[in-house]
A and B are shown apart, each in its own frame.
Chain A
Amino acid sequence: QVQLVQSGAEVKKPGASVKVSCKASGYTFTGYYMHWVRQAPGQGLEWMGRINPNSGGTNYAQKFQGRVTMTRDTSISTAYMELSRLRSDDTAVYYCASLATVTIYWGQGTLVTVSS
């Protein structure tokens, strides 16, 4: 079955960077875009961008342009999302998600806390 397993919770100071990983299994990793979505405490869902695991090509939401970098390692079927120059309002749960065939599969989420 399709599984997306994310790395564990992180605590970072303002101005630092964080890199979250998402390991895919149960489907052809290079066949489907990987998206990243975040959810601030008590808030809705916000799309951050996507990566084509086959080519490495990316599309980022304008809000995150210049601060987010999405990469992948096809040898281990893993996608990464790095967010730099962290601020307190980046405190959120970060999810990877993939529209594999017709269904959207979600990772379990990674809590990133930004605090001095």
Chain B
Amino acid sequence: DIQMTQSPSSLSASVGDRVTITCRASQGISNYLAWFQQKPGKAPKSLIYAASSLQSGVPSKFSGSGSGTDFTLTISSLQPEDFATYYCQQYNSYAWTFGQGTKVEIK
């Protein structure tokens, strides 16, 4: 299986901060990488697909980049509604695998 290593596992930030989360794949996955947001008790919400394409309806403060093994998710200006857990997911292999998650908390 392809292992996805996400960092950091948690971070504290203030409203207005720029936040970056990284995800590394154990082998090349081209751009078959998605990012999603999850709030407590809720289903995952897709943010980014194909590493850098913004899901319809998702605000442009979210952006993704990377290809191959190294990827990043950036939130340009953190707002109260953005405090949540973020996951990366590879779908290059039919056996999807996920990063362990990054919990973004209020400083």
Contacts and interface: CB of A to CB of B under 8 A. Distances in A.
Contact of A104 (B49, B99, B100): B49
A95 B43 contact: yes
Q: Which one of B87, B89, B95, B100 has the highest number of Cβ atoms from chain A below 10 Å of its Cβ?
A: B95
The DSSP consensus for interface residues of chain A is strand
A59 to B, nearest CB: 6
A44 B87 CA distance: 9
Contacts of A50: 94
Interface string A61-100: 1000000000000000000000000000000000101010
Contacts of B55: 103
Contact of A37 (B34, B46, B53, B96): B96
Contacts of A47: 95-98
A44 B4 CA distance: 12
Nearest to B57: A1
Interface in B67-107: 87, 89, 91, 94-101
B43 A44 contact: no
B38 to A, nearest CB: 9
Nearest to A46: B98
Interface of A: 33, 35, 37, 44-47, 50, 59, 61, 95, 97, 99, 102-109
Nearest first, the 9 closest Cβ-Cβ pairs linking A and B are A45-B98, A47-B96, A106-B43, A109-B43, A106-B44, A44-B100, A108-B43, A103-B49, A102-B49
